[in-house]
Amino acid sequence: MPLTAAMPTADLAHDEPRPYLWTMNFGPQHPATHTTIRLVLKLDGERVVDAMPDIGYLHSGFEKLGEHLDYNQYVTVTDRMNYVSPMANNVAWHLAVEKLLGIEVPPRCRYLRVIVCELSRITDHLLCLGAMGLDTGAFTHFIYAFNPREWICDVFEALCGARFTNSYTRVGGLMYDATPKAVAMIRDFLGRIPKPLADMDRLLGRNRIFRDRTEGVGVLTREEAIRRSCSGPVARASGVTRDLRRDDPYLGYEDFDFDVCCATAGDCFARYMVRMAEMRESIKIIRQAVENLPAGPVNVGDDARVILPKKEAVFRTIEGLITHFELVMGNRGFEVPCEEVYCATEAPNGELGFYVVGDGTSRAYRARCRPPSFIHLALFPHLIRGHMLSDVVAVLGSLNVIAAELDR
């Protein structure tokens, strides 16, 4: 295949000729794009006339892989999609698979999944807000945000042994049950997290420089947010009061008392404030879930025929060995209906949905991921038009675009 310069100019070409405009290449290796995204900016002096995102630098064919890995194996790939909050992706994938298979997970598993989802919401928002501060010149804020992320990584390590790419869920349950030590660590985390959040609030919430750079920048109205398919904090900052945890409850979110955080301004600062407020709501949810954590099994029973037996059983008993064999062999596996489902969760960035098509085998026929970052980066040209070059990083930071999820 020849390597030609695929300069994406179609968006810019139909403008009338304005020879004084500059074309600037922002990225793909710019530190403020966080990962590899290229933006072709058309500048009039320092004012951005048009922007043209060019994505695909991290395209790794995850959806194609989903058709070749079985339902449990693919969870390791979902870790790599939004690697800032891998737990949320694990839960989203296995919820979709369980919906296809018609499995209802036990209450303890639901509560533990809620806890890890909300912890990953906090990690995601901490990274987004910290990096947004960093991009707009507040380096200290970034360090304040990254410190508590470390505590959450420690909790994840105690839960499943991995800090970053967790792969914690399994079809019909979790890899491991939470140990008392892990629960104690979550309690300890809940006691410690309010202070750094208050510090972050005091550092940036009323910071003149930060507010000047974010208020009124990248305004998204409610109508545009709906027309452009936004979801999550980006839509809620524009006044779309839609939160799947409340509106389409999954995992028993209706048991918890929490508020849906919204703003009406729709600018970068509103998105910052919504994310800030959501972390406090997440803490509320985790506290309720930890205090009411049900006892009992964490996986569905043997009747569902989806849970792999424990390794001791596989190595020491014939029943365990045969069960393992039956579930792992390519021509055996789960009983999957020839059907398709769409299942969505409220991931930190917005609606993360999986459209799973089953064909009777133990591999998905199609594993479509609806990535929120992809939809939100499509907003970028709309948000940045007419603003200054220095606002590019503020807008990009407030959208929290994760390129690995964007390209998949």
Partner 1 sequence: MTEPETIAALKRRFPDLTVSEFRGQTRVVAPPESIHDVLTELKEHLGFDLLIDVTCVDYLNYRGAKDRFGLVYVLTGTETNRRIIVRTFVNDPEPTVPTAVDLWEGANWLEREVWDLFGIRFAGHPDLRRIVLPEPFAAHPLRKDYPLQGRGERHNFPVITRAES
Per-residue b or e along 359-390, where b marks 16 or more CB atoms closer than 10 Å to that residue's CB: eeebbbeebbbbbbbbbbbebbbebbeebebe
Nearer to partner 1, 182 or 375 (CB): 375
Nearest-10 crossing angle of helices 268-291, 391-399: 30
**Binding of partner 1 by 407 (CB under 8 A):** yes
In angstroms, what is the minimal distance from the CB of 18 to partner 1?
A: 20
Separation CA 218–CA 388 (nearest Å): 10
Q: Show the DSSP H helices in 253-293 as ranges.
A: 268-291
What's the burial of 84, exposed, middle or buried (CB within 10 Å: 0-12/13-18/19+)? buried
Nearer to partner 1, 230 or 304 (CB): 230
Among 24, 265, 378, 389, which residue interacts with partner 1 (rule: CB under 8 A)?
A: 378
Per-residue b or e along 22-50, where b marks 16 or more CB atoms closer than 10 Å to that residue's CB: eeeebbbebebbbbbbbbbbbbeeeebbb
Separation CA 173–CA 298 (nearest Å): 6
**Binding of partner 1 by 273 (CB under 8 A):** no
Nearer to partner 1, 83 or 176 (CB): 83
Separation CA 329–CA 280 (nearest Å): 45
- Provide the 10 A C-beta neighbour count for residue 314: 17
**Binding of partner 1 by 338 (CB under 8 A):** yes
**Binding of partner 1 by 204 (CB under 8 A):** no
- Tokens 């964007």: give the residue: 406
In angstroms, what is the minimal distance from the CB of 203 to partner 1?
A: 34
Positions of E strands within 113-212: 169-170, 173-174
**Binding of partner 1 by 220 (CB under 8 A):** no
Segment near partner 1 (CB under 8 A), from 176-184, 213-221, 265-273, 362-370? 362-370
Nearer to partner 1, 45 or 61 (CB): 61
**Binding of partner 1 by 375 (CB under 8 A):** yes
What mask of x and - would describe binding to partner 1 in positions 72 to 101, judged by CB under 8 A? ---------------------------xx-
Site for partner 1 in 11-50 (CB under 8 A): 11
Among 157, 199, 255, 340, which residue interacts with partner 1 (rule: CB under 8 A)?
A: 340
Binding site for partner 1 (CB under 8 A): 1-4, 6, 8, 10-11, 55-56, 59, 61, 63-65, 67-68, 99-100, 102, 224, 226-231, 240, 242, 247-248, 338-342, 344, 351, 353, 355, 357, 359-360, 365-366, 368, 370, 374-375, 377-378, 407-408
